[in-house]
Amino acid sequence: MNGKEIGGRVPRGARRSGALVAMLLLCACSLGTSPPERFFTLASEPLAAAAANTTAYLVVVGPVTVPEIVDRPQLVMSAGANRVEIAEQARWAAPLKSEIPRVISDHLARLLEGARTATSDQRSAGTPDYRVLVDVQRFDSSVQGALIQASWTIRTKEGAPTLTGRSVVTENAGAGYDALVAAHSRALARVSSEIADAIRASRR
């Protein structure tokens, strides 16, 4: 082996160092181009403050249970019959266990005349005339839209018969996470309407 051949080689240590530098540069570029996280909330239509002066009864919403698969910060997208995808850059601003009762409470305040509403997290709300328990069995998100399947129970403090019901609601969505979250908000509005109908019927 002559000197020219030895001099033309790249030392093994130098090759390793070069590969490491290239890897670090690639990681830096990847991190630099990662899309930012976006945070979403479910929309509701709370009762106007001016209309909340007279209240005849209190409705407390919660606790609410949700499937473990969606009980996480990220939006969970259905990607097939047996597969889901976790949207790392699309996240809920608050847990669904607190977002859902807030939204239902806001809707019930608007739908039920004379009612004051609160969530079970609001300890100072008082003793409820009606307590709404919600078990969300499905909270599905896909490119087609939103699906919510929930069983709900309404208990009264007077010892009247417990009211029960089941809601299955689907809402189409446009492209993007904003449209999907809006579809879930509309679906929850429909669930709230069915709960409000049951409470009104019990007061006749």
DSSP-assigned states of every residue in 161-197: PPEEEEEEEEEE--SSHHHHHHHHHHHHHHHHHHHHH
Tokens 């299955």, located at residue: 168
Query: Which pLDDT value is given to residue 12?
Result: 52
Question: What is the chain's length?
Answer: 204
Distances (CA, A) of 120 to 12, 126, 132, 170: 66, 10, 9, 26
- Domain 38-202 fold is Rossmann fold (3.40.50)
∠ at Cα 193 (74, 92), nearest 5°? Answer: 10
Q: Where does residue 161 rank: exposed (0-12), middle (13-18), buried (19+ CB within 10 A)?
A: exposed
- Domain residue limits, the chain: 3-32, 38-202
Query: Which pLDDT value is given to residue 155?
Result: 94
Query: Which pLDDT value is given to residue 195?
Result: 98
- Whether the bond into 95 is cis, omega within 30 of 0: no
Output the DSSP codes for 84-97.
EEEEEEEEESS-HH
Query: Which pLDDT value is given to residue 45?
Result: 74
Query: Which pLDDT value is given to residue 80?
Result: 84
Report helix, strand and coil shares of the chain as percent, to nearest 5: 40, 35, 30
Averages of pLDDT over runs of 10 residues in the chain (204 residues) are: 48 49 47 78 73 74 97 95 93 97 97 94 84 98 96 87 95 94 98 97 89
Query: Which pLDDT value is given to residue 27?
Result: 46
Query: Which pLDDT value is given to residue 6?
Result: 43
Residues 6+ apart with CB under 8 A from 13: none
